[in-house]
Amino acid sequence: MPEQGSVEKFQKAIDALSDLPVHGVVTVGDSVDPAALRPSRNVVVFATADHDNLMRRARLVLTHGGHGTFMRALKYGLPLVVITGLGGDQPTNAAAAHDWNVGLALPGDASAPMMRDAVANVLGSNFYRMNARAVSAQLTGIDGAEKAADEIELLLSNRFKKAC
């Protein structure tokens, strides 16, 4: 989505984290030139990074709510703060974070102070971390591709039965 290339949105996230006693890593992919952003003393910016390696050491994920990052955070039992975008899965994932009590969802135009407060709230409470770890335990050993294929086959089978 074009909004994922928003220098302003990335900068708000950096500014939000810069006021907190955390170390932050921002990855922008190919949507933004990292040089267009002002990192802070405790936040670094990279075009890409190994998210699995980062998440093994992280305490929280601040994300736009795309499926890949969202599910990877849950795989590692990490609570989330989702600043939702317009991408097809982002609003759904933001709602899931809220409904599953694994984090907080903010609107796409959230200010840096709103992001900072949400991150501080989630980090300051074991509630979200415990729920994220519980979801992680439920996901352990599940093959998502196999499960999706089974669901598609069931759907097609039921459709075929109705047609006959």
**Angle of helix 7-18 relative to helix 112-123, nearest 10 degrees?**
50
Separation between Cα atoms, residue 131 and residue 116, nearest integer Å: 21
* Angle of CA points 135, 13, 50, to nearest 5°: 60
Residue 124, number of CB atoms within 10 A of its CB:
9
**Domain coverage including residue 71:** 2-163
Residues 47-85 pLDDT 10s: 999 999 999 999 999 999 888 899 999 999 999 999 987
Q: What is the domain count for the chain?
A: 1
Under 8 Å between Cβ of 11 and 26: no
> What are 90's two structure tokens?
């982002």
Q: How far apart are the two ends of the chain, measured CA to CA in Å?
A: 42
> What are 158's two structure tokens?
């039921």
Separation between Cα atoms, residue 86 and residue 90, nearest integer Å: 7
* pTM for this prediction: 0.84
Residues whose CB is less than 8 angstroms from the CB of residue 151 and which lie 6 or more positions away in sequence, other chains included: none
Residues 8-53 pLDDT 10s: 999 999 999 999 999 999 999 888 999 999 999 999 999 999 999 9
- The pairing of strands 24-27 and 103-106 is unpaired
Separation between Cα atoms, residue 8 and residue 13, nearest integer Å: 9
**What is the separation of C-alpha 149 from the centre of its chain, rounded to a whole number of angstroms?**
25
CATH code, domain carrying 87:
3.40.50.2000
Which residue matches tokens 């405790």? 42
Separation between Cα atoms, residue 79 and residue 73, nearest integer Å: 7
Residues 109-156 pLDDT 10s: 999 999 999 999 999 999 999 999 999 999 888 777 887 888 888 888
> What are 95's two structure tokens?
């709602």
